Amino acid sequence: MSSRYRAAVIGLGRMGSTFDDEIDQGGSIFLPYCHAPSYYAAPDVDLVAGADPHDEQRSIFGVRWGIEDGHLYTDYRDLLEKEKPDLLSVCTTARIRSQIVEDAARAGVKAIWAEKPIALTLAEADAMVKTCDDHGVALALNCARRWHPFFSQARTMIEEDELGDIVQVTGYGQCGLSHNGSHLIDIVRYMAGGRVEWVYGEMESDEAAEGEKDLMGNGYLAFENGVRAYVRGMPCGIANWEIDVLGTKGRFRSIANGQDAELIKLHPGGPRGRGVPARMPFPWPAHYPGMGLTIVADLVSAIENGHQPKCSGVDGREALEVAVALRESHRGGGRKIHLPLEDRGLGILSSEIHGDDIPARVRRLQS
């Protein structure tokens, strides 16, 4: 039986605390989803503390989750020293995320659940992964589609050869390649099941590609296992946030941002006996667990069994590296870019850091 774990959150805004209160339907999200409500609801976990430099954020968090003022901190370093959490969420702006993750790993935290993107530069991501590895800390990135029941089931079907050899994965999702592109690139990587060897990229404009800010773009990805993939981060029309997986024996498609799933398998018959693609009922799970609960359970299992979380720090870093490589391809006139990238100082200023001196919750209310 699991021991009881102490959990804390750094960054007490929307994803750290209140995002679930905005959700009134499922699709790509099943509640509890964000960090505090997931710890609050998880078995064998106690939510004990939070840290945020903004007074109002701490106050809302304390009232919402029953945390007394003595366990609410302005400085996250005080939280690490005094509370000594086992599980820690880092839901701050990416501008300071890498430093907090490294400090937490050195402070003895057992598992970290960090928001995406992993960092602003590849060098920061490298340092985060290495520090966590050096201190035996499980690092998970919140590219949460990996824990979605549809995608989990599809991945199992792929591993059990129900779809045959995977030849192509296509991901549609209008987004900045670093910010929500973390989700898009990561779920394409998860479905492809391998490491990206090289890419071609096309950005929204030459001007955007020359800058360091987040940007939309499209890309062609070649995986070491022979799978090829296409990601479309530019406007996608009616297909926004859809994932299409093509195999030699079957096809899986996630539709309307996870609100439906389609399964097609090849059946005997047809012209010259080559088979007929036929739509099959997708094996919907018997339960729709809150995705945050699934992530917390994965973190606890990582601590107790020594495995990497389903979306690890390495996965988060590779999503950022693919995004950077796509931009570098455009900068080079559409040339092929091989991974890993040699220049680890490269990065993208994720759009989520824009105006990050004001909490995202407040910016959303003001808009």
Task: Decide if 266 is inside a domain.
Answer: yes
CATH of the domain at 56: 3.40.50.720
133 and 151 together in one domain? no
34 and 138 together in one domain? yes
**Token duo for residue 1:** 């039986």
87 and 167 together in one domain? no
176 and 118 together in one domain? no
Task: Decide if 362 is inside a domain.
Answer: no
pLDDT tier, 25 (very low <50, low <70, confident <90, very high otherwise): confident
122 and 151 together in one domain? no
Task: Decide if 35 is inside a domain.
Answer: yes
Q: How many C-alpha atoms does 165 have within 13 Å on its Cβ side?
A: 5
75 and 175 together in one domain? no
Task: Decide if 79 is inside a domain.
Answer: yes
56 and 191 together in one domain? no
112 and 202 together in one domain? no
pLDDT tier, 166 (very low <50, low <70, confident <90, very high otherwise): very high
Task: Decide if 358 is inside a domain.
Answer: no
pTM metric for this prediction: 0.96
CATH of the domain at 200: 3.30.360.10
173 and 65 together in one domain? no
Distance of CA 111 to the CA centre of its chain: 16
pLDDT tier, 1 (very low <50, low <70, confident <90, very high otherwise): very low
133 and 208 together in one domain? no
- The Cα–Cα gap between 23 and 192 comes to 30
Task: Decide if 197 is inside a domain.
Answer: yes
Read off the pLDDT of residues 72-87 as tens digits, 9 standing for 90 and up. Answer: 999 999 999 999 999 9
- Domain, as residue range, for 249: 146-285+318-338
Task: Decide if 357 is inside a domain.
Answer: no
30 pLDDT above the threshold of 70: yes
261 and 308 together in one domain? no
- The Cα–Cα gap between 134 and 141 comes to 18
64 and 151 together in one domain? no
Task: Decide if 354 is inside a domain.
Answer: no
Q: How many domains does the chain have?
A: 2
